[in-house]
Structure 1
Amino acid sequence: MRSLKYLFIAFFIIFSAFPSPEATATEENTTMEVKLKNYLGNQTSVKLTATGDYRTSGGEIFIKAGEDLTLKVESAKIAVYKGSKKAGAYASFKIIPVKPDASLSINGRPYPGSFSFTVEGGYIRPINHVYIEDYLKGVVPREMPALWHAEALKAQAIAARTYALRHQSTLIDDTVSYQVYGGADGHYQTNSAIDQTTGMVIKQDDEIIEAFFSSSNGGMTESNSNVWSSGNPLAYLTIKEDSYDPKTNWAITLDKQQIDLSKKDLSNPDEWWTSVQEKDKAVVPRLKVWLNNNGYANKDIKITEIPVLTFTDKKTGGRVTKGSIQLKFYVRDLVDDRGSLLEQKINLTNVAASKIRGMVGQGVMKSYLVDHSSSNPSRIAIEGSGYGHGVGLSQFGAKNRAEAGQSYQEILAFYYPNTNIEKEYGKVGAGAKTDLDVKAAPNSINMKAKTDHEKDEVGITYSLKEDAVVSLTIKDSKGKALTNPVRDQTMKKGTHSVIWNTKAVSDGTYGAEISTMDRSGNEGSATMVIKISKDTSVPKITDVKISGNYSTEKANITYTINENSKVKVEIKNSKGKAVGTLSERQVIKGRQSATWDFKNMNNGMFTVTITAKDGSDNKKTVSTKIPIRKTTGIVTANALSIKENRNNSSETIGKLYKDQTVTILAQQDEWYKVKKGSQIGYVVKKHVKK
């Protein structure tokens, strides 16, 4: 779900053929129309397999339970085959399940609900008409990991439902342009979150809000109007700091010269074309895709230089809105009148940042929140934080808030302030409001677990805000109940604990589910994921290496880790005080790296501390020293020019004045290479005293 764009008004009548066991008369208009593109792609032939009978809108049985059909595009129509026999051809058709619990597999992926089939651009295009709660069960586990904290999953379920109902009159698709939808293949954890919040949506002034969400906001939420200039600012989508967002970091580092062709014969590229490759393997392939889609279709391209890549015009939330890029490249079959390869150039200046991000790749430039950028004669470096547009709910922020004990009401109150939750439909209380300014539901339950691998047991604690009848169930990864440490016991308000013996269970992921009922019959529930791993070995961090560059004033720290772990890389000063966190994230085993920008640090001895915690909570910390010894000098001349190159006739790029301090990066003949602020250049050595 990433876009405000509407496609076009749906054109099929929705039959009320999707009853749910919990549906009531208030659910008359709670179906969605979803065009299936994401997983299906563009196909001229698809296979259908049904788990129940499906009929046409005229009442005839189209496909029986267990039967397979093949649909093919023939003469702009959909031809239907049973085995090798053609059963008919249609411009379009619709099928409806005879029983609501049936599902239809399309190329092996099952979907609930009914279907319309048309030909779109020469391809078969199914449109799934699905009850919204079933739709959400195919959405939530693809928008948020199903094993995250239950309160985060509930917040995601309500946000996804709100977004869906806001766009209900639009024919949406199953891609990130709206919400990723995977059909009937759900997960018991997310299904539970959806069931517990059935019908709940977020409203302001009795209107369903635009419940945008993204993976990570980088520590700062964003206004919708800063991201999508066509929309008016919405009061519930504000700019503010989010201390619970993990500030997902990303970086782009590019060599300006990708290929050196100075010694190549441009009139005879057959000699060298296949043997030379660009240095960058992340951004350059995306740039080639963009070039192929913008005037150079199906062309063989070599990108030789990327002289400029910058982002500017930050909005109040710190996100950039403009960008510039320059490319120099050759196309295999574009030559001048002498048969020599003709250099091509692209120069985009102060265009929308979204255009540049689309060129370099959204997976590379993960957000518009650019924290640092620098450029020297040979390299471009850009660092940022966040993943996605940053508007509305941060999924990683919601996870951390839930793990810190916040309820889904508190989570949604932060990301959509001055709104309320209403039960739009459902079994009980349709239209009832829950003000999102409240801090917690009356029966909210806080659960925690501590695993003791040596004793083969898990200590589970939970707190009650009032007296209640309590049941606690442990389930396996498939949702099967294994044991009930607490069964229908009356408990006083306060904190309680229970021990789950894990000797008989194997390593894996389990769920603890607690349900309560107070004296008035009000029910509460909570779920928690428990990982069992009898591994007691700590992660191994080896081959730690540090390389510094006084020109960029950055140090690169690399290390090898032997298992997947959550790793934190910190820098501490000589007094042991942390002066910076370089990385704090989940990493996969193998070689890892982090970058330290030390331009604001004084000379001295610093310590790099790497702490890793594996999935079994085994922890290991290693440390190594890193000295910072910047050479400085004092300007002795009244005025001193900073030259681009070691030549008095080269371009002057800056000025220094008497008694100013500069950082000396290197000595070359009678010149010092120096840095002052962001400027790097050359000055005559005799005018600077060390």
Structure 2
Amino acid sequence: MKMRGLKYICMAFFILFTAFPAHEAAAAEKSTEMKVKLKNYLGNQTTVTIMATGDYQMPDGKDFIKSGEELTVKVESGKLAIYKLAKKIGTYDSFTVMPVNEASLLNVNNRPYPGSMEFMVEGGYIRPINHVHIEEYVKGVVPREMPALWHIEALKAQTIAARTYALRYQSTVIDDTVSYQVYGGADGHPHSNLAAEQTKGLVIKHDGKLIEALFSSSNGGMTELNSNVWTNGEPLDYLAIKVDPFDSKTRWSIELDKQQINLSDKDLSKPADWWTSVKEKDTTVVPNLKIWLQRNGYSKKDMKITDIPVLSVSDKTSGGRVTKGSIQLNFLVRDIVTDTGELVPQTLILTNVAASKIREMVGTDKMKSYLALDSKQANPDKIVLEGLGFGHGVGMSQYGARNRAEAGQTYQEIIGFYYPNTTIVREYSDGGAGPAAEPVVNKDTAAPKITNILTSGNYSTEKASISYNLNEAAVVTVQVADSKGKVVATPTKGKSLRKGDQSATWNFANVTNGTYTATITAIDGSNNKKSVSTKITVKKTTGNVTATVLNMREKTNTTSKIVGQLKKNQTVTILAQQGNWYKVKQGNKSGYVSKAYIKKS
């Protein structure tokens, strides 16, 4: 399930990265039907098989297929021929079939689809178009955009985003590929279906209009502004740059040798002697570079990349994402030779081109985002690119939504964070007629409550426990400061915690006696903040060594291993007493000594 989930999350990035519509759905749009061309699963076919779980008719009332029957549709002379067994029973330019019972499903090449189905010829292939209710469409989309067994609140947020995205397109014929949203018909999942049913009709709006409900797999811990990614668009009020502590911060890295093939011992005039036996060092990025070259002037060419002297990214947006990149490739093409048959070295240099071109060349599954980290090139013979996130980072982070849900946040809180200044409304009622404009969520203005604060210390381990209770999920930081306000420790830093009892551990081994202040700060999913403080008194017992030389031992006996030595008049911290022995600490060493040779201060 883990691998399946990751695969589907990757799909979500491509869907929204390649499609950023500029239009708004018309306010008067009342239809709840989607029209979806079947391309993704079906592919380009000249023959398809149809089966049904119920009776289907044509618009004129003519029977088309009975429950349990099987028909074959073929492209013949640019038309659609229908066969029952081996007998042709009709020929059409195009045709539409509708279920007699709404609950019936039509199987097209063994995948079931709800609603009506229109069949046409497109480019010489059979192209079905599924006319399906928006709610059934969403059920077929969500488990292909987010793993269906993820937390129900994350699935609800994804469902509402997918429904909002789809309704902006209901006036056009979309398809079931990553160009829009991947749709799998009735081949859904009970858990994600439940999320759809529990949020039926809910969409996200800003100023009364459906929003661009953009999402990606992982934003790397920082959301991005839409206009930083798609430069032809105006900044949208409900998409902003802000820190997302709940994102999983998916990390990616690319490491390449600048020299892929050493040509110093290769005779370019005799490539037949070595060409087939020599391969590039890299097996991950180089194949993608070759594919790009083949698509850009070197179609079907046999080539070898010998060097990658340059591969870099630059020019960061206000959200920290790169917008430019440079690359140089030195390569050989098997049939580009001189008159004498000697290979002619080729060079491609791209300088300060769009970072999207660099990402396309190296592979979107290798350079997973534009949130690149500043790398220090420790080895001049290698190229290293590192970054965080998977996708464009605009709008909702799917991993962030999952982590927020698991921390106790509701779908309203998740949507409120990723799409600020928006409202969730019920766009249509159970009957599917017209906008209901019913607000579902109000802005959360209440700060988290931090109660039941308790502190306790253990001088043997030199650690203190700070326990407390949260009334809601929050991102928590716990800091300890001395009497002058200087922070001496941060036991918890920006950690996503569930509601309920929590604790932090402070190691006070390296501080002196005194009164310290522990401050707990909690920020909820709506960015409401609360801080509370409590005092912790550290009073360690000290003593002076009275013996000329005193051995510190591993255990409480004189035959135990010696772990250190103390000298007369040295001051030690007494951690604990065990019989006639003290456990003491001096510097960074601790051990047991006879209490007879320690005089308490």
For Structure 1 versus Structure 2, the TM-score category normalised by the shorter chain is 0.5 to 0.7
Other-structure match for 2:186? 184
Other-structure match for 1:415? 418
Structure 2 CA distance, aligned partners of 1:84 and 1:194?
42
SS of the residue aligned with 1:381? strand
Q: 1:211 to 1:87 in 2, by over 3 A?
A: same
Q: Answer yes or no: is the 8 Å Cα contact 2:17–2:391 preserved in 1.
A: no
Other-structure match for 2:119? 117
2:436 to 430, 453, 465: 430
Structure 2 CA distance, aligned partners of 1:374 and 1:85?
70
1:56 to 55, 58, 66: 58
Instruction: Quote how far apart the aligned CAs of 1:419 are.
Output: 0.7
SS of the residue aligned with 1:95? strand
Give the ranges of 4+ consecutive aligned residues of structure 1 lying more than 6 Å apart after TM superposition: 6-9
Instruction: Quote how far apart the aligned CAs of 1:46 are.
Output: 2.1
Other-structure match for 2:559? none
Structure 2 CA distance, aligned partners of 1:184 and 1:99?
15
Encode CA deviations 1:302-345: one digit per residue, 9 max, x unaligned. Answer: 12111111111100000111111111222222222221222222
2:372 to 360, 370, 373: 370
SS of the residue aligned with 1:364? coil
Other-structure match for 1:137? 139
Equivalent AA in structure 2 for residue 215 of structure 1: S
Other-structure match for 1:2? 16
Bigger relative contact order, structure 1 or 2 (CA pairs below 8 A, ≥6 apart): 2
State yes or no: 1:394 paired with 2:397: yes
1:80 to 74, 79, 82: 82
Q: 1:29 to 1:258 in 2, by over 3 A?
A: same
State yes or no: 1:382 paired with 2:385: yes
Structure 1 CA distance, aligned partners of 2:126 and 2:141?
23
Greater per-residue strand proportion: 1
Q: 1:95 to 1:213 in 2, by over 3 A?
A: same
Equivalent AA in structure 2 for residue 214 of structure 1: S
Equivalent AA in structure 1 for residue 386 of structure 2: E
Other-structure match for 1:234? 236
Encode CA deviations 1:189-248: one digit per residue, 9 max, x unaligned. Answer: 111111011000011111111110111100000111111112111010100000100100
Equivalent AA in structure 2 for residue 168 of structure 1: Q
Structure 1 CA distance, aligned partners of 2:195 and 2:19?
28
SS of the residue aligned with 1:350? strand
Q: 1:70 to 1:342 in 2, by over 3 A?
A: farther
SS of the residue aligned with 2:440? strand
How do residues 179-578 of structure 1 correspond to structure 2 at under 5 angstroms?
179-375=181-377, 376-427=379-430, 430-438=436-444
SS of the residue aligned with 2:126? strand
Instruction: Quote how far apart the aligned CAs of 1:353 are.
Output: 0.9
Q: For structure 1, which segment, 341-350 or 197-206, has the greater mean C-alpha deviation from structure 2 after superposition?
A: 341-350
Q: 1:164 to 1:341 in 2, by over 3 A?
A: same
Q: 1:116 to 1:345 in 2, by over 3 A?
A: farther
Q: Give the TM-score normalised by the residue count of structure 1.
A: 0.59
Q: Answer yes or no: is the 8 Å Cα contact 1:255–1:279 preserved in 2.
A: yes
SS of the residue aligned with 1:147? coil
SS of the residue aligned with 1:373? coil
**Unmatched 5+ residue regions in structure 1?**
10-25, 441-464, 466-493, 495-572, 577-690
Q: Answer yes or no: is the 8 Å Cα contact 1:409–1:439 preserved in 2.
A: no
Encode CA deviations 1:25-49: one digit per residue, 9 max, x unaligned. Answer: x995101111222222222322222
**Unmatched 5+ residue regions in structure 2?**
1-14, 447-470, 473-506, 511-601
Q: Answer yes or no: is the 8 Å Cα contact 1:288–1:301 preserved in 2.
A: yes
Q: 1:289 to 1:199 in 2, by over 3 A?
A: same
Q: Answer yes or no: is the 8 Å Cα contact 1:412–1:436 preserved in 2.
A: no
Q: 1:8 to 1:374 in 2, by over 3 A?
A: closer
Q: 1:218 to 1:43 in 2, by over 3 A?
A: same
Other-structure match for 2:460? none
State yes or no: 1:163 paired with 2:169: no
Encode CA deviations 1:402-431: one digit per residue, 9 max, x unaligned. Answer: 111111111110000011011011239932
SS of the residue aligned with 1:421? strand
How do residues 597-676 of structure 1 correspond to structure 2 at under 5 angstroms?
none
Q: Answer yes or no: is the 8 Å Cα contact 1:369–1:385 preserved in 2.
A: yes
Other-structure match for 1:98? 100
Q: Answer yes or no: is the 8 Å Cα contact 1:81–1:88 preserved in 2.
A: yes
Equivalent AA in structure 2 for residue 42 of structure 1: N
Equivalent AA in structure 2 for residue 230 of structure 1: N
Equivalent AA in structure 1 for residue 437 of structure 2: G
Aligned length: 429
SS of the residue aligned with 1:117? strand
SS of the residue aligned with 1:307? strand
SS of the residue aligned with 1:357? helix
Equivalent AA in structure 2 for residue 207 of structure 1: K
Q: For structure 1, which segment, 383-392 or 337-346, has the greater mean C-alpha deviation from structure 2 after superposition?
A: 337-346
Instruction: Quote how far apart the aligned CAs of 1:178 are.
Output: 1.7
Q: 1:57 to 1:359 in 2, by over 3 A?
A: farther
SS of the residue aligned with 1:261? coil
Structure 2 CA distance, aligned partners of 1:90 and 1:307?
59
Instruction: Quote how far apart the aligned CAs of 1:351 are.
Output: 1.3
Instruction: Quote how far apart the aligned CAs of 1:436 are.
Output: 4.4
Equivalent AA in structure 1 for residue 103 of structure 2: D
SS of the residue aligned with 1:119? strand
SS of the residue aligned with 2:162? helix
Q: Answer yes or no: is the 8 Å Cα contact 1:257–1:305 preserved in 2.
A: yes
Equivalent AA in structure 2 for residue 398 of structure 1: A
Instruction: Quote how far apart the aligned CAs of 1:55 are.
Output: 2.1
Q: Answer yes or no: is the 8 Å Cα contact 2:17–2:392 preserved in 1.
A: no
Equivalent AA in structure 1 for residue 406 of structure 2: E
Instruction: Quote how far apart the aligned CAs of 1:61 are.
Output: 2.1
Instruction: Quote how far apart the aligned CAs of 1:4 are.
Output: 6.2
Q: 1:273 to 1:58 in 2, by over 3 A?
A: farther
SS of the residue aligned with 2:213? coil
Equivalent AA in structure 1 for residue 143 of structure 2: P
Structure 1 CA distance, aligned partners of 2:21 and 2:224?
24
Equivalent AA in structure 1 for residue 423 of structure 2: N
Structure 1 CA distance, aligned partners of 2:148 and 2:269?
57
Q: Answer yes or no: is the 8 Å Cα contact 1:111–1:184 preserved in 2.
A: yes
SS of the residue aligned with 1:427? coil
Q: Answer yes or no: is the 8 Å Cα contact 1:374–1:380 preserved in 2.
A: no
SS of the residue aligned with 2:155? helix
Other-structure match for 2:70? 68
Q: Give the TM-score normalised by the residue count of structure 2.
A: 0.67
Q: 1:294 to 1:90 in 2, by over 3 A?
A: farther
Structure 2 CA distance, aligned partners of 1:340 and 1:88?
62
Q: Which has the larger radius of gyration?
A: 2
- Over aligned residues, Cα RMSD in angstroms? 2.6
Encode CA deviations 1:577-625: one digit per residue, 9 max, x unaligned. Answer: xxxxxxxxxxxxxxxxxxxxxxxxxxxxxxxxxxxxxxxxxxxxxxxxx
SS of the residue aligned with 1:2? helix
Equivalent AA in structure 1 for residue 16 of structure 2: R
Q: Answer yes or no: is the 8 Å Cα contact 2:249–2:388 preserved in 1.
A: yes
Other-structure match for 2:560? none
Q: 1:55 to 1:416 in 2, by over 3 A?
A: same
